[in-house]
């Protein structure tokens, strides 16, 4: 089932999310719903707080080329355990901040641990777009948005645009 994506500013997007203690069918369904919502948007990552669920769960799939096999990843309690000194700059966007993009600098390579959909502990090294995406999504679990990396003026400009967008949507 597709879920409704919250638009910034929203207090739920500023919260530190709680760790997932035990996997349940309900949480697996939530992860499936998030993947469906992400693909539909379309986007390459989605975090649970973006659909109003304050738990440490993200989904991502950075395979963008037409015809390539999708690689949906479901991560419960994801954590960056090591990051490279070398950085990368990507023009980032966010499904909670539609049609706004800005360059963000982050570590180029990160090692991430998480619990998968079957409850297995996993660890993997991510590079390039995958590394940026997984860091962006984990930030969401700590109440941080990509615009928080920008200069205040630019952040305020984007926030005002989003407030206007929300007013327009509320009227429609």
Catalytic residues: 137
Query: How many alpha carbons fall within 13 Å on the CB side of residue 26?
Result: 5
* Contact (Cβ atoms closer than 8 angstroms) between residue 123 and residue 113: yes
CA distance linking residue 115 with residue 148, whole number of Å: 27
User: Measured from the CB of residue 38, what is the shortest distance to Ni ion in angstroms?
Assistant: 10
**Taking the complex as a whole, how short is the minimal distance between the CB of residue 27 and Ni ion, in angstroms?**
20
- Pick from 17, 94, 110, 112 the residue near Ni ion by CB under 5 A: 94
- Nearest distance from C-beta of residue 16 to Ni ion, angstroms: 16
Q: Show the beta-strand stretches assigned E in the chain.
A: 45-47, 57-60, 73-83, 87-94, 97-107, 109-115, 121-127
Q: Judged by CB under 5 A, which stretch of 29-37, 70-78, 86-94, 160-168 contacts Ni ion?
A: 86-94
> How many chain residues interact with Ni ion (CB under 5 A)?
1
Q: Which residues contact Ni ion by CB under 5 A?
A: 94
């Amino acid at each position: 089932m597709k879920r409704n994506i919250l638009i910034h500013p929203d207090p739920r997007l500023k919260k530190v999310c709680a760790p997932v203690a035990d996997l349940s069918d309900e949480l697996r369904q939530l992860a499936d719903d998030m993947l469906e919502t992400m693909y539909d948007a379309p986007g390459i990552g989605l975090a649970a707080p973006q659909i109003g669920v304050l738990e440490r769960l993200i989904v991502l799939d950075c395979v963008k080329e037409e015809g390539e096999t999708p690689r949906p990843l479901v991560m419960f309690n994801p954590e960056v355990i090591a990051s490279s000194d070398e950085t990368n700059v990507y023009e980032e966007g966010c499904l909670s901040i539609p049609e706004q993009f800005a360059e963000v600098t982050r570590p180029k390579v990160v090692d991430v641990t998480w619990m998968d959909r079957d409850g297995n502990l996993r660890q993997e090294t991510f590079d390039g777009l995958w590394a940026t995406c997984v860091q962006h999504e984990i930030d969401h679990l700590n109440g941080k948005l990509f615009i928080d990396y920008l200069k205040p003026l630019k952040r305020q400009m984007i926030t005002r645009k989003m407030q206007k967008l929300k007013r327009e949507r509320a009227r429609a």
